[in-house]
Structure formats: structure tokens, C-alpha cells
Structure 1
């Protein structure tokens, strides 16, 4: 479903240019959940934005669902590939009701049965019809992210790109959203690319992971190998140690 070969993303700057992503290659099979992990500034979100056409491809080759990135993307691409952004407070229009937020992609895609689809989409993400005419400021962070997920799924995409979808939420709400995403992945056979700085989050949803540092992939591995710490790169080992968190040492005696 996704084939990325030697992908490069370059941005202009006052001093010339910055190569935010260099030589990134990976493949994602149809129906697979694939993770990209790394610290802030590693380039993982830039890769995700390139996959949905929001960042320029300066080098290499990438196809998503049969669509070639870097060329003029057809309307079908916008329906096949959807993205859920990190900040549920910033990704929803503050003056749009939930109904209008969900109706807009249906209109762009030329879909019919808008009212029925909106009700079904809300039900699928665990929100009742009472939420339909509320504004974002009337929703909690978790409810806003559920609306954002419903907006992405309402046009029935084949590929779902997730940019740190739980990092702005409380821990208990994070678990709810991750369980929702795992259920939707199984029920819809979605192809998912999840970006996160947290290996534990990626391990919950994904079967394979690529570790990024300074705009490059330093290692790819199955999630079982990561859990067993059968990793090769020192940076991956340090990320695993960071995921374990602080461990208090007990003084002898």
C-alpha cells in the first residue's frame, strides 16, 4: 500500500536550505500498522506530511495507494489517504459545529446520505448524536480527538496517517483513544502509519517500527524484537531505556 524509496524532503531557509528528511526507505503492506518513532526534530512528522502531500518531495520516490507523490494528486487521493493531527485543540475549526466539521469532507468527496453518514461516524468513535451540534470548546480533549478521527474515517479511506494522536491527552484518555484506533484498524482493515516519540504507544498498535534520528531511519524491526530488546542501534537501545522510565534504586540494608 505504501512504498517509500530514498525519500528526501527539503525546506528553504534564509541560509539556503534544510534537508529535513534524507534517504528514507520503507514499505507498508495493505492492512498493516507501521510505526515511526524518534525524538522531536527527527523528521518523522515531516515524512508523514509528505505521505499526504503536505510536504514537498525533493528526492526519491514514494507511492501511497497507487498514487505517486510529487505529481498532481487526484481527488481520489484525498479520499484514500487521511491524516489525524497531534493537537485536537487546533485541528478543529472553532466556529464549526461537529456536524459541519463532518459534513465538509463528505461534500468535497461528493458523497451522498450526509446525515446518516455523520450519525454512523459519531457512533463508530463512541460519540452519540447529542454531540452533533456542539462546538469544539464544548468538548473535552478526548472528545475532540474522537471527532478528528471520525472526520478522517467518514470518507472511508484506505490509509490513515496518525501524527502523535494521543500525546496532547491525559493518560487515561490516551488509553481510550489507542483502544479505539486498534478496534478501527481491525474492523476496517486500515493501513496505518503512526508517528510517536513513545515506543510503548507504537508497540500497542503496530507490528513493525522504524526508528528515526536526524532525518534518517537508523533501524527497522518487528515489534516483538523491540520488546525483547533484540535491536542493533545504540539510539534504539536508549529510546527503550527512556520508555522504561525512572527506576528507583533501593539502598542496601
Structure 2
């Protein structure tokens, strides 16, 4: 579904140019959940922004099922880290969900908005509330509904739970897992939390200083079977993949 080949993303700064991502390559199969892990500034979110068309590509290519630019804009949707910052403060939930339908020329607004809210666990009474009238978890549910209402094939998740309380994190993670299963979505998850990555992802790429240093399946992460020294230090720094970390989040591992 997704092919990233020798991707370099370059930004201009006062001191010159900086390569935020250098020569990154990976492939994601249809229906797979792929993780990008690394410390802050490693380039994880920049890759997502390049895939969604929000960051310029200096070199290399990104392909999503060989789709054109218009199809990619609809079929690749992103959920951001901060659910309050990603929602327009003066838009009601109804306006927030109606806008992508209007932009993409999709009809049946009323039915789609109600169904989108129901799918993320919110009833129709939320339609005319503003972001400041919602909790953090409710705002993130609205953000997920906004991404899904245009029926994308790919969902990009940029630290979707890190700004939420631990109990709410579990609710959102279980929601994402259910949506992945029901919609057969292809997902890329950016996170620094290996318990979150281990719950959702089947494979993980570990990033450092804009480069992918190692790609592993989740079984290797759980067993801490890594070859790269940085990957080993990252596992040690985060306490490794620990089942008790998953349990601390209250995640439904049977779901």
C-alpha cells in the first residue's frame, strides 16, 4: 500500500539547510499497522507529513498504491498529536466534520456526520458543541471521525494518545484497533511509547537523527532482540517492551 524509497526531507533555516529525514526507505502492506519509533527530533513526524503532502520532498519518492495526487489527498488522512490544536476553535463538531465532505465533493452530509460520530463512540448530541466544550479524549475522537469521514485507505497517526490521560489513552487505542479491524485500514503510527507500538503495530522502524537505523517485527521488540546499539539503548531507556506497561494503560489486549 505504501512505498517510501530513499526519502529525504530538507528544510531551510537561518544557519542553512537541514535534512530532517535522510534516505529513509520502508514498505507497508495493505491492512498493516507500521510503527515509527525514536526520540524527539528523529524525523518520525516529518515522514508522516511528507506522506500526507504537508512537507516538501527533496529527494526520493513516496507512493500510496500508485494513486494520483488528488486521490492521495482523500485516501491518506492524518490524526495529530494535539486534539485541541488540530480542531478549529470556532467550528462546531458539525462544521468540523462537514468541511472535508464539502472539500471532497461528498454528499449525504447529515447521515455521514451522524454515522462518523457513532463510529467513534459519540452520539448526535455532540454535533453542535465547540472544542472547548469537549474533553481531550472527546476531541481526539472528533479528530479521528474527521479523518475517517472521507473513507480513506490510509490513516497516519502522529502520537495520537500522548497528550491524553492514561485512562483515556486506553480508550483511544482500543478504538483505533477496532477501526483498523473493521475498516481494514493501513496505518502508520508514530510513537515514543513501546507499549503503544506493541499493541497496535506488527512491524517497527527505529529512527535516529533523521535516519532509519533498524526495522524489526514486534516479536523482536518484545523479546528485545535488536542488532543496532541505538535500538538497544532506546529499549533500555524506555524500560523495553513490558507487558506491565500495557496493563498500566488498561489496554484490552484481547480485543
TM-score (norm 2): 0.92
Aligned position for 2:197:
202
Aligned position for 2:41:
41
Provide, for residues 77-121 of structure 1, a one-character-per-residue CA deviation record: whole Å limited to 9, x for no partner.
221000000001100000000000000000111111100000000
Q: Count the aligned residue pairs.
A: 240
1:147-226 paired onto structure 2 within 5 Å: 147-226=142-221
SS in 2 for 1:26: strand
What is the deviation of 1:174? 0.4
RMSD: 1.0
Aligned position for 2:134:
139
What is the deviation of 1:200? 1.2
> What stretches of structure 2 of length at least 5 have no aligned partner?
241-255
What is the deviation of 1:179? 0.3
Determine if the alignment matches structure 1 residue 231 to structure 2 residue 204.
Answer: no
1:66-145 paired onto structure 2 within 5 Å: 66-67=66-67, 73-74=69-70, 76-145=71-140
Aligned position for 2:11:
11
C-alpha separation between the residues in 1 aligned to 2:181 and 2:234?
28
Larger mean Cα displacement after TM superposition, 29-38 or 12-21: 12-21
Aligned position for 1:251:
none
SS in 1 for 2:234: helix
Provide, for residues 136-167 of structure 1, a one-character-per-residue CA deviation record: whole Å limited to 9, x for no partner.
00000000000000000000000000000000
C-alpha separation between the residues in 2 aligned to 1:33 and 1:134?
32
C-alpha separation between the residues in 1 aligned to 2:172 and 2:121?
10
SS in 1 for 2:86: coil
Give 1 or 2 for the bigger CA radius of gyration.
Answer: 1
Determine if the alignment matches structure 1 residue 32 to structure 2 residue 27.
Answer: no
C-alpha separation between the residues in 2 aligned to 1:60 and 1:33?
23
C-alpha separation between the residues in 1 aligned to 2:142 and 2:75?
19
